[in-house]
Amino acid sequence: MFDLNTMRLELSEAYDLSPNPELAEQMQDVYEKMSRVVNPVDWATYAPYVAAINALKKERNAVILAHNYMTPEIYHGVADVVGDSLQLAVKAVEVEADVIVQCGVHFMAETSKILNPSKTVLIPDMEAGCSLAESITADGIAQMRAKYPGAPVVSYVNTTAEVKAASDICCTSSNAAQIVAAMENDTVIMTPDQYLAQNVARDVPQKNVVWWEGSCIVHEQYTAQDLKDFREWNPGTSIIAHPECPPDVVDESDFSGSTSGIIKFVTDNRPEKAMLVTECSMASNIADALPDVDFVGPCNMCPFMKKITLEKILWSLHTMSEPVEVDPNVAQKAKVAVQRMIDLSQKLGI
């Protein structure tokens, strides 16, 4: 693990990173994508990092894959590809550059490495974990198989490579219901998100969905009462929830979908007021593209996603750290589960 002071000293010796209003002005086209949510003073502090990262990307022949939960200066300033978990996995297969910098959490970087093992995959902070990925091990999958013999295991991509390797197929929030519906058996094991599983169980009543008891620390905080109270306080708000929220929260919402599904819904429907029941950066990243939508209401931050910063991305490219490695035997088995998901999604037109 790096030492922040050493990192800052070394970076300041290698690059001019002091706030730079002139450079910020020159990069106005980038700033325009986030001017509703990032003030000009902050932009002047980000601009030197954005410029340095974009120059280093060329030097290293690197691409940045960034999840929709990254902050606006990452999402609009340095990312080459942005998307939800499924979109990032599909793009990871297609990367031709030598290096992938994964701006997201560790399981996403592992997925990129599994799908494209000849590439160097870097994550700017190894401690960017996920409460769901931490909730289950391969032993947990074995326990579920023993409890429900013969039932296929559908694991959320928010899992470690070992768990993927022990599963039959993966899913993401954008294809979970369709993947479960496509399984041949009546009983389907879903791990590790109990709430995603319960939401899928309702959408796919023909299956007996059983689940592991994991949860997302960001989405489990919302309650149905919060949404009811908010609607009463601010009538006319379109409420949109991620399916990692408990089912009664999803019931209180007007729409539920993956992070990209949420962006598409708001973009297509242009509600006057929208409350995104998910991670905070989602609304910030689309605020400028949708000036007619007023994003209202509380949001919760993912402490893991927020470990990724411009400073750490620059350090990552500067030092080529930290490379994500997956044991080749585990990677081979995990790839089968991830690739099955990608192939089935493409067949189903998702």
| Residues contributing to the site for ligand SF4 (CB under 6 A) | 105, 130-132, 158, 216-218, 244, 279, 302, 304-305
State the nearest-atom distance from the C-beta of 258 to ligand 13P, in Å: 3
Nearer to ligand SF4, 60 or 67 (CB): 67
Per DSSP, the residues of 145-184 read HHHSTT--EEEESSS-HHHHHTSSEEE-TTTHHHHHHH-S
Which residue of 111, 116, 173, 281 would you call a contact of ligand 13P, by CB under 6 A? 173
Nearer to ligand SF4, 20 or 155 (CB): 155
Distance CA 165, CA 20 (A): 48
Which residue of 135, 238, 258, 284 would you call a contact of ligand 13P, by CB under 6 A? 258
Any bridge partners for residue 63, and if so which?
A: 100
Distance CA 178, CA 34 (A): 35
Which residue of 24, 52, 216, 296 would you call a contact of ligand 13P, by CB under 6 A? 216
Q: Does 199 bind ligand 13P (CB under 6 A)?
A: no
Q: Does 84 bind ligand 13P (CB under 6 A)?
A: yes
Q: Where are the beta strands (DSSP E) in the chain?
A: 62-67, 81-83, 99-103, 120-122, 153-156, 169-171, 187-191, 208-211, 238-241, 255-256, 273-277, 294-295
The binder of 258, among ligand 13P, ligand SF4, none, by C-beta within 5 to 8 A per type, is ligand 13P
Nearer to ligand SF4, 20 or 172 (CB): 172
State the nearest-atom distance from the C-beta of 77 to ligand 13P, in Å: 20
Q: Which residues contact 219 (CB under 8 A, 6 or more apart)?
A: 195, 242, 244, 245, 246, 249, 277, 278, 300
**Residues 39-68 interacting with ligand 13P (rule: CB under 6 A):** 68
State the nearest-atom distance from the C-beta of 110 to ligand 13P, in Å: 13
| CA 102 to chain centroid | 10
Which residue of 244, 246, 275, 335 would you call a contact of ligand 13P, by CB under 6 A? 244
State the nearest-atom distance from the C-beta of 217 to ligand SF4, in Å: 5
Q: Does 158 bind ligand 13P (CB under 6 A)?
A: yes
Distance CA 338, CA 107 (A): 12
State the nearest-atom distance from the C-beta of 103 to ligand SF4, in Å: 12
Distance CA 130, CA 133 (A): 5
State the nearest-atom distance from the C-beta of 18 to ligand SF4, in Å: 32
The binder of 191, among ligand 13P, ligand SF4, none, by C-beta within 5 to 8 A per type, is none
Q: 236-271 burial, b if ≥16 CB within 10 A, otherwise e?
A: ebbbbbbbbbbbebbebbbbbbbbbbbbebbeeeeb
Interacting residues toward ligand 13P by CB under 6 A: 68, 84-85, 158, 172-173, 216, 244, 258-259
